[in-house]
Structure 1
Amino acid sequence: MLSIIIHPQDSKLAVLPIKDNAKEPVFYGILTLKKTPKGSRAGKFRIRKGEKEEFRAPAEVIELLRLADGILIAEGNERSEAEFKELLAAYQLDYGYTNACRLCLLAGRYTRVNSDSIRFHDEHVCEDCAKREVMKEASTHKIGKHGQERLIRILLGTRDLDRVLAMLSPEKLDSGLTRFDTMEANWVESSVKVKDLPVHEELKKILLHQLEELMPVQALSVKAGLLEGKNQLIVSATATGKTLVGELAGLQNILYNKGRMLFLVPLVALANQKYEQFTKRYSSIASTSLRVGTSRITKGTKGVRTSLSSDIIVGTYEGADFIIRSGNAKALGKIGTVVIDEVHMLEDKERGHRLDGLIARLKFISPDTQFIYLSATVGKPQWLAEKLGAALIEFEERPVPIERHLIFSPEYEKKRLIERLAKQEYDKSSSRGFRGQTIVFTNSRRNCHMLADSLSIKAMPYHAGLSYNERKRVEEQFGKGKLPVVVTTAALAAGVDFPASQVIFESLGMGIEWLTIREFQQMLGRAGRPDYHDRGKVVLLADPEKRFGKGDTEDEVAFKLLRGELEHFGVEYGEDEMLEETLSNIVVARRLSDIRRINGLLLGSGDLDYLLDKLTEYGFIEKASGGLSPAELGRIVAAHFLSVEQTFLIKDAVLKGREPLDIVTGLDVIDAVYFKYASQLSDALGTDIPTRVFGAGLDIVFSADGISKLKENLRRSALDFAREFMACRCKDSPYCGCAEKKFSAMVVELCAGGLSPDGIISELTKRYGVYAYAGDMLNYLDQAARSLEAVELIAGIYGRKELSMKARELREKMEG
């Protein structure tokens, strides 16, 4: 069967002979008509086969039309169509019409279309052409393989090419198509009413002010023996009520005189928030204290209760461990309950060993204590529950549905998208009367401030570098619904309670590494609260051209995160970490049998005999009657969280008679220091200056050529900085580290001179045009004071009394 498809075009006709309904024609012909006294007739006719093109006699096209089983005209130029009909009439040839894909015809192919074909503008096109258009636009936007596959799936689902292409234009976004999936709510009815709980009446009164019925995970926990003192691992999504499980056990044990509660968390910000919540909520039945570290620097900070005699002690892992490592475990008194929030931190490469050691030591010093472990993201819950000796309460349901959206967006479009999405969210109110609020995750503190300051909707930055008061101000405004947007780093991922309905990922990286699946799930879990919202919304803004090094692009990472399952890493750490935990265990367990028992409680324990030999060799432990005990040096190492390397650096420096301040700055420096006027420096130098002072910016700004280009006020600050900190003869200057050490020494001296962290920052800005965040400054000063105490004590061991006294005097001045 031979069909001739005619596509009328401007001043010509495309002629496609089609055999047996094939897509590809026998050849592609172009017919030009000519006007004659008798009407339109064939003028010129040429055909194209592959790359060859040749002219044919006009009579050949007439013969072809006569031989055809059918002549079908596709929609095209009306004038050319009318002229062709004149030709057909002259030869008494019949014709019909066909609905053909215009894009195919233009490419020399023929595909029939109908109302079920892909819509494109005001017509229909075939699937193949629609896919080609999608792939062409996706390639233009540098979208990777998974993104292209997703666009094709959406195309076949919607049958609308315009809507799919609009996904690549941020100003034309269609939320119905950007939605990747919906994590449906699956909320089971609770069968435990608060009034029926077998708890102390005073606790029940407080609970009844908050809720009438337990949330499902709470009910499951109670039924599994929570109030009978059973150890439990609670694995449940954010906002399902895990925290109250720990509170129920802790308060019940307090009221029935079974001992105080330790509520331990990974972040200072989270500890502060829990301290305030517990103080407000339970003050009528229990006292609450806060322990977040050594807390040596108190200048300019608001005092909080830190007594170890309180009923509830809220602290960071390190804050609680410091008490034990210092040999003051007895000061914790009778412990009824230990709640470990974010227990998945056991698998953290840097801090996991310390949490592991802390849990083991707490179990040893208080074997009858009830342990409650909380997490939203555990790779192998059953494995961890068995390792911890706890019953597993795993609750997979979600209190509110979460829509997850993926938007392909170049970096320069992200701010505009965030503004639009945040405004839309804030303009909505849930059925419970709460306005929609947004958390924006970005990859650096600098971006937190820059983005928050540049948004046209009210926004504030929030990160670990802020002072306690700064963080509290943001928390209060957001909690009252007066702040539409908080821009943060990972600081809000781990449990800090911000009732946001929407989470936007401005970046899928943190620092210069992509998010892990666990980090991503922790962050997206901040969207939607059952007491506030009807649904949560998570939006990933992925730039197909953004990558770190030679790794995946951001759009490829987005698909890995959205489709990924939690990885299980286990609890493993190296020899130095094992030595640290073993030494800290010996602080509380002296007999060899007890040391072995506590070592057996570790999830990541090693060869104990080998570790004991190494600790003896280093002079950290010594034989005592009936077992082992920390040597004087070992006590200092354990209490000050020193590594083996740091310990011997201090020892060698002490024996060489180096000054305490020189020793301390050799151990650690404050490198999170930023140019106050980075944008002005960049403009003056004609290049983008990194905001961090110590790094690539040093070489650019403080070179002779760089300083000469600066305006007078900036030049004066730069010269002062260079004279003060960069007078160094090291061949690697300015990357030798001397500038950071000198700068850190000045920070310590300013603190010893009576300035608070905020006062130090103001002074640095006034003198050198640089600044640091108050939280970072406080943390560094606290660490420096702790290191000075270690220097003081180690110097004392080796008979360097004068040096020991200098270290003590400097520390006491810092601590005020």
Structure 2
Amino acid sequence: MIIISPTKKKAKIYVSSNKSKSMVSSIGSFSVKIQKNSIRLNNVNVRKSNKKRQINKEEFVDFLKNDDVWITNNFEVYERYLTENDIEYSIKMICPECLKKHAITNLSKKPSYEYHGKILCYDCAKEEVEQLAYYEGYQEDSVDHFIKILKNRKSVSDVYSFITNNSNMVKNKKFTLYDRIESNESQFAEISIDEVDIPEVVKGILKPRIDHLLPVQILALNSGLLYNENMLVVSQTASGKTLIAELTGIKKALQRRKFVYLSPLVALANQKYRYFEELYSPLGLNVVIKVGSNKINAEDELKIIEKPIDNADVIVATYEGLDSILRSGRSDLLNDLGVVVIDEIHMLENRDRGSRLHGLINRLMLLYPQSQLIGLSATIHNPKELAKKFNMKLVEYDKRPVTLERHIVGVENNEKKLELISKLCKDEFENTSPLGYRGQTIIFTDSRRKTSQIAYQLEKNDISAASYHAGLSYANKVDIEVKYANQEISTVVTTAALAAGVDFPASQVIFDSLHMGKDWLSSNEFHQMMGRAGRPSYQDIGKIYVFFELGKYYQYTSEEKVAYSLLKSTVTDIKVKYNMDDVYEQVLADISSMGNADCEFLENKYNNMNMEMFFNDAIDELMELNMIEHDKQNDKYYVTSYGRAVSQSFLRIYEAELIRTNITSDPIDLVTQLEYLSNVYLSNRYLKSLKNFSWHYVSTRLFSDSNKELINNPYVLDCFSQKDQKFIIKLLHDFKGNCDDVYCDCLEMNISKHIINRRMDSLSPSEISSEFKKEYDINIYSGDIFNYLDQVIRYLEAIERISKVFDIISVSDECKKIIRLIEG
């Protein structure tokens, strides 16, 4: 077999070199020209016996006539030559790159791929894409993604253009599309509110806003929602879980059985409180809130007035707000408890609060066995296990109400990323859904500073955007929430840490960063944040964009690898882990809540849990510290006055012992030993100067060890402007004094004391923030000051309780006085 592969200049000649005719060898070339309307053969070179030689026309024609001839593409002049010389031939699509490698791939029988006018086989096209992608700095996961695009587009040229031209990345979304999760809601017979067994007055309130029940609500009703069944409800965000709580909760509240709604955050609890009060207080229901914080009277901040719960019908509380009632030994205040709804029950996996929520649920089950318990969550991987643990019936609805498109984009640098994000936000806001809402975006990033930077860049590009984080005042947050709800703002930029508290109906979610604090996002966190995109009442589609920077590493792992890993991930099992401090706290909380606790019951309970220590070791330590006592005759544990004060204050036992052993110290000194304000940030001017002295990332936090070292270095200080030198010298003089230890906590503790004292001088958090900016050019957000002062009050209340136990009235009175001044 002879293969002729023509080009404009000449045609190469190949002959098969094995019996199967799958391999060829190049033996020469020839060219033809048209002269005076006839075809002329030129420069026929063939290789025989490893020697090149020219042959004449007659020899060449005989050579071709004695074998099968294939021509690799339609090339008129060569076809005419073969025809005029009575040479039979077949036109075959053969991969030219394979021919170069002396292989035959017949593309008439296989998929073909375009590349700069040539047609390649899959293997050669794949090789071209791989070589380019690796050359451009992409890793294996991205290469696999590009190969997937190649298979769909059948064009190496298109993939080449996409890889090398970042600016076009968001124009053709087929290239960035990772996958598409279709809306797959099940069809249920429509059920109206009129058909639900709830009081007519409740139907009257619900009917104006609810046409018919959603699928998960129907499933809950069919599973015994209105017949006191405990249940774990797991379904997508915005699928109607709150109404499930409402249907059973309000029905029981009208029967004068308490309805408790638990939320993880004060802000979310306040939203639900306002909602229930507005709707149901006209029915004569007493709606109260219990969060155990936010008592400070400060401009622009949320002050919550708590009312007694003994005559409440509806109680909206944080987890800790309700638990404080139980730990104080006043469980009788909830004797007529009808239903407890635990929103965001997946918080069980939270490192800081998971064990506390787990302990609270167990105490509720023990103290109120007749009450109904309902857990709500959007993402739980092991719902059957969790439902069994809490004796709940599982109501799971995993269908998506809205289609979700997930995209992934690799960029060279942060500037290119911001350019593409700007285009996405602008395009989305210009798009109106079939339901009449403009597309809006949530951007998740890894620091407050970056929320401001990104929002600023978006504003420069005429995109209405706002930075939203925990350091903002309550008034600022509400202002942003209202403007976003009214579609006056297209984009909110927030931190991953605030994801649980963000309730914006976004059509698009963008991940600017994939880590939160010092750690990469977990798969559960990622899926929770991803679930913010696409609300059925607003949009018919949700979009996710995951960005990564080429060659960017964090904790020895590339951002690119993490991006694909998160997209491939599913939510993981929720496992509650108790460290030693958790065990001490929860055992003490159980005994404090129960009044008297059966020894065998408690031991069996804790020995079946995942803990770092044995139950009896925890008991021995609590008895040694005089927090509990053992009644050997009845084999029961009792809490001491000291133990109850510790448990009610949510103290770790080491914190309690620090207070007890220093109970006569200045309360403010004691508080700052327990906790100081850590969210103190360097100004942009300082950061620019410090970057000249650091080979790596410069932290924005003033109290990082690297920054402490730099600002205490005279050589570094000499390189600052005179104005900045004065600021830093004043900062060190006022808050560090004569201490020579660069890495000590003096700076943190003294700044925290100063904040407390300035609040006692009647300055508001925003005024204190402004004062630090003016005097030292450092940034402390007013919201952080407010939250810290709230925590200071919690510790002062703990010191007050413990001082009363030991009859040290002067300390108790001093704590009360400081609390009054801080609350204002």
- Using structure 2 for the length normalisation, give the TM-score: 0.88
User: What are the Cα deviations for residues 398-431 of structure 1, in whole angstroms up to 9, with x where unaligned?
Assistant: 2222222223334422222222222222112222
The structural deviation recorded for 1:16 is: 3.5
Is 1:694 matched up with 2:703?
A: yes
The structural deviation recorded for 1:141 is: 3.5
Could you tell me whether the CA contact under 8 Å between 1:73 and 1:98 is conserved in 2? yes
User: What are the Cα deviations for residues 243-300 of structure 1, in whole angstroms up to 9, with x where unaligned?
Assistant: 11011111111112222x2211112332232223223333322343333333343333
Could you tell me whether the CA contact under 8 Å between 2:441 and 2:491 is conserved in 1? yes
CA distance in structure 2 between the partners assigned to 1:194 and 1:493 by the alignment: 32
For residue 56 of structure 1, what is the aligned residue in structure 2?
A: 52
User: What are the Cα deviations for residues 143-163 of structure 1, in whole angstroms up to 9, with x where unaligned?
Assistant: 332332232233223322233
The partner residue of 1:445 within 444, 448, 452 is: 448
Q: Secondary structure at the match of 2:25?
A: coil
The residue correspondences of 1:791-806 to structure 2 (distance < 5 A) are: 791-795=799-803, 797=805, 806=814
Question: Would the alpha carbon gap of residues 105 and 269 (structure 1) be closer, same or farther in structure 2, given more than 3 Å must change?
Answer: farther
Q: Secondary structure at the match of 1:235?
A: strand
CA distance in structure 1 between the partners assigned to 2:740 and 2:670 by the alignment: 19
Could you tell me whether the CA contact under 8 Å between 2:687 and 2:700 is conserved in 1? no
For residue 748 of structure 2, what is the aligned residue in structure 1?
A: 740
Q: Secondary structure at the match of 1:204?
A: helix
The residue correspondences of 1:462-477 to structure 2 (distance < 5 A) are: 462-477=468-483
Q: Secondary structure at the match of 2:14?
A: strand
Question: Would the alpha carbon gap of residues 434 and 601 (structure 1) be closer, same or farther in structure 2, given more than 3 Å must change?
Answer: farther
Larger deviation, residues 538-547 vs 95-104: 95-104
- Letter matched to residue 112 of structure 2: S
CA distance in structure 1 between the partners assigned to 2:321 and 2:608 by the alignment: 21
CA distance in structure 1 between the partners assigned to 2:610 and 2:126 by the alignment: 56
Is 1:779 matched up with 2:783?
A: no
The structural deviation recorded for 1:642 is: 1.2
Is 1:170 matched up with 2:179?
A: no
The residue correspondences of 1:90-101 to structure 2 (distance < 5 A) are: 99-101=93-95
Q: Secondary structure at the match of 1:592?
A: strand
Is 1:506 matched up with 2:512?
A: yes
CA distance in structure 2 between the partners assigned to 1:117 and 1:616 by the alignment: 78
- Letter matched to residue 139 of structure 1: Y
Larger deviation, residues 440-449 vs 24-33: 24-33
- Letter matched to residue 257 of structure 1: R
CA distance in structure 2 between the partners assigned to 1:293 and 1:604 by the alignment: 29
Question: Would the alpha carbon gap of residues 280 and 26 (structure 1) be closer, same or farther in structure 2, given more than 3 Å must change?
Answer: same
- Letter matched to residue 822 of structure 2: M
Is 1:752 matched up with 2:748?
A: no
For residue 571 of structure 1, what is the aligned residue in structure 2?
A: 576
Question: Would the alpha carbon gap of residues 652 and 667 (structure 1) be closer, same or farther in structure 2, given more than 3 Å must change?
Answer: same
- Letter matched to residue 228 of structure 1: Y
For residue 219 of structure 1, what is the aligned residue in structure 2?
A: 218
CA distance in structure 2 between the partners assigned to 1:699 and 1:227 by the alignment: 63
The residue correspondences of 1:593-742 to structure 2 (distance < 5 A) are: 593=598, 596=601, 600=605, 604=609, 608-623=615-630, 627-654=636-663, 658-678=665-685, 681-682=688-689, 685=692, 689-695=698-704, 696-727=706-737, 729-731=739-741, 733=742, 735-742=743-750
The structural deviation recorded for 1:118 is: 0.8
Could you tell me whether the CA contact under 8 Å between 1:403 and 1:536 is conserved in 2? yes
User: What are the Cα deviations for residues 746-796 of structure 1, in whole angstroms up to 9, with x where unaligned?
Assistant: 122222222222221111111111122333222221212222333344455
CA distance in structure 2 between the partners assigned to 1:594 and 1:230 by the alignment: 30
For residue 144 of structure 1, what is the aligned residue in structure 2?
A: 139
Could you tell me whether the CA contact under 8 Å between 1:101 and 1:124 is conserved in 2? yes
The residue correspondences of 1:22-37 to structure 2 (distance < 5 A) are: 22=21, 24-27=23-26, 29=28
Could you tell me whether the CA contact under 8 Å between 2:328 and 2:593 is conserved in 1? no
- Letter matched to residue 460 of structure 1: A
Q: Secondary structure at the match of 2:598?
A: helix
The structural deviation recorded for 1:103 is: 4.2
Question: Would the alpha carbon gap of residues 17 and 518 (structure 1) be closer, same or farther in structure 2, given more than 3 Å must change?
Answer: same
Percent of residue pairs bearing the same amino acid type:
33
For residue 186 of structure 1, what is the aligned residue in structure 2?
A: 185
Is 1:160 matched up with 2:155?
A: yes
Could you tell me whether the CA contact under 8 Å between 2:25 and 2:102 is conserved in 1? no
Could you tell me whether the CA contact under 8 Å between 2:45 and 2:55 is conserved in 1? no
User: What are the Cα deviations for residues 593-620 of structure 1, in whole angstroms up to 9, with x where unaligned?
Assistant: 3993798499848755443332111211
- Letter matched to residue 262 of structure 2: L
For residue 307 of structure 1, what is the aligned residue in structure 2?
A: 307
CA distance in structure 2 between the partners assigned to 1:15 and 1:167 by the alignment: 35
For residue 348 of structure 1, what is the aligned residue in structure 2?
A: 350
Q: What 5-or-longer segments of structure 1 have no aligned partner?
A: none
Could you tell me whether the CA contact under 8 Å between 2:260 and 2:315 is conserved in 1? yes
Question: Would the alpha carbon gap of residues 631 and 591 (structure 1) be closer, same or farther in structure 2, given more than 3 Å must change?
Answer: closer
Larger deviation, residues 470-479 vs 553-562: 553-562
The partner residue of 1:428 within 404, 428, 431 is: 431
Could you tell me whether the CA contact under 8 Å between 2:295 and 2:303 is conserved in 1? no
Question: Would the alpha carbon gap of residues 365 and 294 (structure 1) be closer, same or farther in structure 2, given more than 3 Å must change?
Answer: farther
User: What are the Cα deviations for residues 39-78 of structure 1, in whole angstroms up to 9, with x where unaligned?
Assistant: 775388789x9xxxx86343599968753525656569x9
- Letter matched to residue 26 of structure 1: S
Quote the RMSD (CA, aligned, Å). 3.6
The structural deviation recorded for 1:445 is: 2.2
Q: Secondary structure at the match of 2:282?
A: coil
Q: Secondary structure at the match of 2:624?
A: helix
CA distance in structure 1 between the partners assigned to 2:191 and 2:793 by the alignment: 50
Q: Secondary structure at the match of 2:700?
A: coil
Could you tell me whether the CA contact under 8 Å between 2:687 and 2:698 is conserved in 1? no
Larger deviation, residues 398-407 vs 478-487: 398-407
User: What are the Cα deviations for residues 122-143 of structure 1, in whole angstroms up to 9, with x where unaligned?
Assistant: 4422212210121112212433
CA distance in structure 1 between the partners assigned to 2:100 and 2:382 by the alignment: 57
Could you tell me whether the CA contact under 8 Å between 1:599 and 1:605 is conserved in 2? no
The partner residue of 2:596 within 591, 599, 605 is: 591
Question: Would the alpha carbon gap of residues 318 and 591 (structure 1) be closer, same or farther in structure 2, given more than 3 Å must change?
Answer: closer
Is 1:42 matched up with 2:43?
A: yes
Q: What 5-or-longer segments of structure 2 have no aligned partner?
A: none
The structural deviation recorded for 1:561 is: 2.5
Q: Secondary structure at the match of 1:283?
A: helix
CA distance in structure 1 between the partners assigned to 2:608 and 2:322 by the alignment: 19
Question: Would the alpha carbon gap of residues 677 and 121 (structure 1) be closer, same or farther in structure 2, given more than 3 Å must change?
Answer: same
The structural deviation recorded for 1:741 is: 1.7
For residue 454 of structure 1, what is the aligned residue in structure 2?
A: 457
Q: Secondary structure at the match of 2:16?
A: strand
- Letter matched to residue 582 of structure 1: V
For residue 322 of structure 1, what is the aligned residue in structure 2?
A: 324
- Letter matched to residue 242 of structure 2: T
Could you tell me whether the CA contact under 8 Å between 2:295 and 2:305 is conserved in 1? no
Q: Secondary structure at the match of 1:256?
A: coil
The structural deviation recorded for 1:496 is: 4.3
Larger deviation, residues 323-332 vs 66-75: 66-75
- Letter matched to residue 308 of structure 1: P
CA distance in structure 2 between the partners assigned to 1:61 and 1:143 by the alignment: 52
How many aligned residue pairs are there?
799
- Letter matched to residue 43 of structure 2: A
The structural deviation recorded for 1:331 is: 4.4
Question: Would the alpha carbon gap of residues 759 and 365 (structure 1) be closer, same or farther in structure 2, given more than 3 Å must change?
Answer: farther
Question: Would the alpha carbon gap of residues 798 and 73 (structure 1) be closer, same or farther in structure 2, given more than 3 Å must change?
Answer: same
The structural deviation recorded for 1:497 is: 2.9
Question: Would the alpha carbon gap of residues 157 and 331 (structure 1) be closer, same or farther in structure 2, given more than 3 Å must change?
Answer: same
For residue 338 of structure 1, what is the aligned residue in structure 2?
A: 340
